[in-house]
Amino acid sequence: MNFDPFEPAHAADVPPDVAEALAWTRAARGCFGAPLFYAPETGSTNDVAARLAEAGAAEGTTVVAESQTAGRGRHGRVWASPAGAGLYVSTIIRPERTGPMAGNTAALTLMAGVALADAVREATGLLAEIKWPNDLMVERRKLAGILAEASAVGTELEYIVLGFGINIRHAAYPPDIAARATSLEAELGRPVDRGAVLAHTLVNVARGRTALAQGRLGAILDRWRALAPSAVGAPIEWRVGEQVRRGRTAGLDRDGALLVEVPTGLERVAAGEIVWL
C-alpha cells in the first residue's frame, strides 16, 4: 500500500480497534485526530507531520504509523519502531500568537507528558510515571518517549510537531536498549487495546491544550509533579561545558526547568543531557 501523506486515511485504511476508539472519543478529542493519516510504515511520523504543517495543515492533524524506519528521540537518538509493537504518533499544534502561553514550547512538552501518563493510566490501569523531561517509565524501564519539534519564521513560532512513541507489546529491541525498555503488555501480563491508548492520549492532549490556552499552566505543573516522583531527591549528573556537575533533583521552576540541589544552592537545568544515578 502506498502512503500519501497529503491524503487523509479512509475508514478502510484504519484498523478496526483504532477506528472504534476514535469514534467514541470524537467529541472529547476536539480537533486532535481529525484529520487522521494512517500508514503501515513511514520513515518518521514527525517528518510527515512537519510536511503537512508546512503545507498548511490545521492544529490537531495527526499521523499514526504501524512502524517507522527512521524514528528518532531526543538528541537525535534512534527510536526503535518495530511493526506491531507500538504506537507511533505525531500531531500538529499551532501556538497562539499572543497571550501568556505564546511560544512556550516547554509548557507544551510538559503538558504532553501529563497527557501521555494519564492516558496510559486511564486506558490500562498501569501507573506509569514521568521522568524529566518527558519519558514515561515503569521501575526505571522506559515505556514511552515524547519528542516536540518546533518550526519558526524569524522570531515567530509557526507550529510544533508533538510526537510520541508508546511500547505496546514486547519486541526484539536492539541490544543496547533491550534491558532498559518495557511495554504495556509486558508490565500488565495481558493484551492491551492500543486504540484505547491512542484515543485517551488524544483526549488528554486536547484537554491540556485547552488548559494552556486558558493560562492554567500551574495546574499542569502540579499534575506533572504528582506524576514525576523522581523530580525530587534523585541523584543526577550533567555537563556544563567540560565540567561534570552532580546533585539531587529539587522539582521544577515556573518555566518547567529542572531544579537541582548542589552544595552551593539550587541550579537550573533547562536542556541538555542528564544522567540518572
Whether the predicted pLDDT of 177 surpasses 90 = no
* pLDDT given for residue 11 in this prediction: 57
Locus of grid cell 537541582? 260
Peptide bond into 175 cis (omega under 30): no
Q: How many whole angstroms separate alpha carbon 27 and alpha carbon 24?
A: 8
State the pLDDT at residue 1: 41
| Cα–Cα nearest to 206, from 92, 104, 66, 50 | 92
C-alpha grid cell, residue 123: 486506558
Residue 149, helix vs strand vs coil: strand
Instruction: Provide the CB-side half-sphere exposure for 174 (13 A, CA).
Output: 7
Enclosing H/E stretch for 167:
strand 156-167
Which domains are assigned to the chain? Answer: 11-227 (3.30.930.10), 231-276 (2.30.30.100)
With beta carbons less than 8 A apart as the criterion, state whether 63 and 52 touch. Answer: yes
pLDDT digits (tens, 9 = 90+) for 17-76: 999 999 999 999 999 999 999 988 888 899 999 999 999 999 999 999 988 875 555 555
